[in-house]
């Protein structure tokens, strides 16, 4: 799926947000195959986010995310599924990848805190 096609499927407005994010992926639920790393968000919405990282991840992978909010002492815990991945190439460093993540807001996430954060960012963006 191309970038334009992915953008067309969005149901929520996305707001540009640059903050640190850590992630962990489990392959078929087996702890021995866990892959994790860190990246930087590009944008957020109520039901998704995009981020970049130097670790290549596959679409349909499930992840746990620790999303850094500058005004809070502890990161937000989120879960989601990678919907798309595209290579960004190299710029004086490792190859980078851009990911789109559909969030699954469940009881193990910080749903209220994340929703509040997105509302605050949207209010600033549209005022």
- What's the pLDDT at 108? 62
- The whole-number average pLDDT for the span 58-75 is 87
| Mean pLDDT for the stretch of residues 50-71 | 90
Which parts of the chain fold into alpha helices (H)? Answer: 3-8, 111-126
Contact 86, 3 (CB under 8 A): yes
Instruction: Give the CATH H-level superfamily of domain 3-126.
Output: predicted glycosyltransferase like domains (2.40.10.220)
Give tens-digit pLDDT for 38-54. 999 998 888 889 999 99
Interval 20-30: pLDDT, tens: 999 999 765 55
Distance CA 87, CA 108 (A): 30
Average pLDDT over the chain reads: 80
CA-CA-CA-CA torsion sign (51, 126, 68, 103): negative
This prediction has a pTM of 0.78
């Amino acid at each position: 799926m191309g970038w334009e096609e992915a953008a067309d499927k969005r149901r929520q407005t996305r707001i540009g947000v640059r903050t640190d994010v850590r992630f962990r992926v489990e392959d078929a639920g087996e702890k021995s195959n866990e892959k994790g790393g860190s990246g930087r968000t590009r944008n957020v919405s109520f039901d998704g986010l995009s981020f970049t990282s130097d670790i290549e991840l596959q679409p349909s992978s499930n992840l746990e995310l620790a999303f850094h909010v500058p005004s809070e002492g502890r990161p937000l815990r989120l879960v989601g599924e990678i919907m798309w991945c595209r290579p960004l190439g190299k710029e004086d460093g490792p190859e980078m990848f851009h990911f789109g993540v559909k969030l699954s807001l469940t009881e193990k996430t910080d749903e209220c805190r994340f929703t509040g954060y997105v509302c605050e960012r949207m209010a600033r963006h549209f005022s």
